[in-house]
Amino acid sequence: MLGNGVIGEPDRGARMNIFPISRAAVTACVIIATGLGFAGAALAQVPTIDIRNTCRITAVAMVQMMGRRATSQDDFNQCMTGEQDALAQIRKDWGTFSSARATCVQPTAYMPSYVEWLTCLEMDRDLRKMRAERNEQPPNPNAPVTLPIVRSKPLW
């Protein structure tokens, strides 16, 4: 028995729901789509990282490795200067780095560094430029590879 009391007949005033999708499902799809859009735009600007923490850890490691206690502050200051200079350069050239941003810029990595990011970004940009000048195609990661024959020799 359906809406109007007659078996097999729907209520004439009732709306038929052709797509039985709940509002919660629609809301979830909108949230996911919005999140994916923001993820793509996340690298539209240079991410901010805590370079003070990175430089502090680096300075302590340098003192432990080199055994110099008097230069910890000097190491920290040099690190901060290098990171600030690298950030300024990344911001200046950000538009030229679009192809390598996702690969090189890793703000959640252990001890992220603008100096490391800049090095990676510049190497990628320069390699692409050299390939373009030579009309070279980037290597195909799915291309077959021929490995050398390795013969084992006795250890003694």
Cα–Cα distance for residue pair 131/139, rounded to 1 Å? 10
Q: Each residue of 10-21: pLDDT tens digit?
A: 555 555 444 444
> What mean pLDDT is predicted for residues 39-51?
73
Assign 44 a pLDDT band (cuts: 50, 70, 90): confident
Write down the pLDDT at residue 37.
39
In which band, very low, low, confident or very high, does the pLDDT at 29 lie, cut at 50, 70 and 90?
very low
pLDDT over 50 at 40, yes or no:
no
Q: List phi, psi (to 5°) of 19.
A: -110, 95
pLDDT in tens, 79-126: 999 999 999 999 999 988 888 998 999 898 888 999 999 999 999 999
Q: At what angle do helices 72-93 and 114-133 cross, to 10 degrees?
A: 40
What percentage of the chain carries pLDDT values higher than 90?
31
109 phi, psi to nearest 5 deg: -70, 160
- pLDDT for res 137: 76
pLDDT at 28: 45
